[in-house]
């Protein structure tokens, strides 16, 4: 009898663990999420932003919040996946400029004066549902599921992309470590 009680308790705790974060994020509107991202550099919200930068943020606002970049590319028109990462992808992340910041290590893609994507290197961030990026690729895939997931592989590693959510996870050595997170406008923002 004691075994059955423990099993029920365990199952109910699992249900609470997975349902509460989904309920909390469903209660937050888009404007509040954008404000939260700008205020919290560690917060990562798929399809919205990361590293105090949100998608569609004007270039002047990026400079006001983050300061002058450590490095800025020349004015070019390229795609981040195709021209920088040398990967073929159905998703395009166009940019005219790339701004690089050091702390945390971040790349911001700007196209027509607005942010089109944010790349945060390292595994120090926290996803909006409470999951730490440092938990690894497999934990994130378990959390997000594999529905709609695309995997872009090359000889060195892989990118696990969720196009509808607007997020991709970089695993440079295929060692289950998140080496970077790419945030872009998803095809169906669910937050």
Q: Does the pLDDT at position 12 exceed 80?
A: no
Please determine, for residue 7, whether its predicted confidence score (pLDDT) is greater than 80.
no
More confident residue, 32 or 183: 183
Contact 109, 117 (CB under 8 A): yes
Q: What is d(CA 32, CA 62) in angstroms, rounded to the nearest whole number?
A: 18
* Higher pLDDT pick, 1 / 119: 119
The dihedral formed by the CA atoms of 44, 49, 50 and 51, expressed in degrees to the nearest 10 = -150
Rounded distance, CA 125 to CA 119, Å? 12
pLDDT at 132: 92
Does the structure show a pLDDT above 60 at 145? yes
pLDDT for residue 28: 73
> Does residue 17 register a pLDDT over 80?
no
Domain ranges of the chain: 30-184
Question: Comparing 56 with 189, which gets the higher pLDDT?
Answer: 56
Report the alpha-carbon distance of residue 131 to residue 123 in Å, rounded.
11
Rounded distance between C-alpha atoms, residue 62 and residue 78, angstroms = 20
Among candidates 62, 63, 28, which has minimal Cα distance to 45? 28
Query: What tens digit of pLDDT does each residue of 82-134 get?
Result: 888 888 888 889 999 999 998 888 999 999 999 999 999 988 889 998 899 99
Please determine, for residue 34, whether its predicted confidence score (pLDDT) is greater than 60: yes
pLDDT mean over 162-174: 91
Mean pLDDT for the stretch of residues 176-189: 85
- Mean pLDDT for the stretch of residues 164-191: 84
Q: C-alpha distances in angstroms, 41 versus 54, 110, 114, 158, 184?
A: 11, 19, 19, 25, 16
Fold of the domain spanning 30-184:
protein yfey like fold (2.60.460)
Q: Grade residue 191 by pLDDT with cuts at 50, 70 and 90.
A: very low
């Amino acid at each position: 009898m004691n075994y059955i009680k423990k099993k029920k308790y365990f199952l109910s705790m699992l249900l609470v663990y997975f349902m509460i974060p989904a309920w909390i994020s469903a209660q937050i509107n888009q404007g509040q999420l954008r404000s939260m991202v700008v205020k919290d550099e560690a917060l990562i919200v798929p399809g919205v932003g990361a590293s105090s930068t949100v998608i569609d943020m004007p270039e002047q606002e990026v400079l006001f919040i983050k300061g002058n970049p450590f490095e800025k590319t020349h004015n070019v028109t390229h795609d981040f996946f195709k021209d920088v990462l040398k990967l073929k992808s159905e998703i395009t992340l166009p940019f005219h400029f790339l701004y690089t910041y050091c702390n945390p290590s971040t790349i911001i893609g700007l196209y027509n004066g607005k942010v089109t994507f944010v790349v945060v290197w390292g595994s120090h961030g926290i996803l909006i549902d409470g999951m730490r990026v440092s938990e690894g690729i497999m934990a994130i895939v378990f959390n997000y599921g594999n529905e709609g997931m695309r995997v872009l592989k090359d000889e060195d590693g892989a990118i696990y992309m969720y196009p509808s959510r607007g997020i991709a996870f970089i695993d440079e050595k295929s060692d289950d470590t998140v080496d970077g997170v790419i945030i872009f406008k998803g095809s169906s923002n669910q937050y």
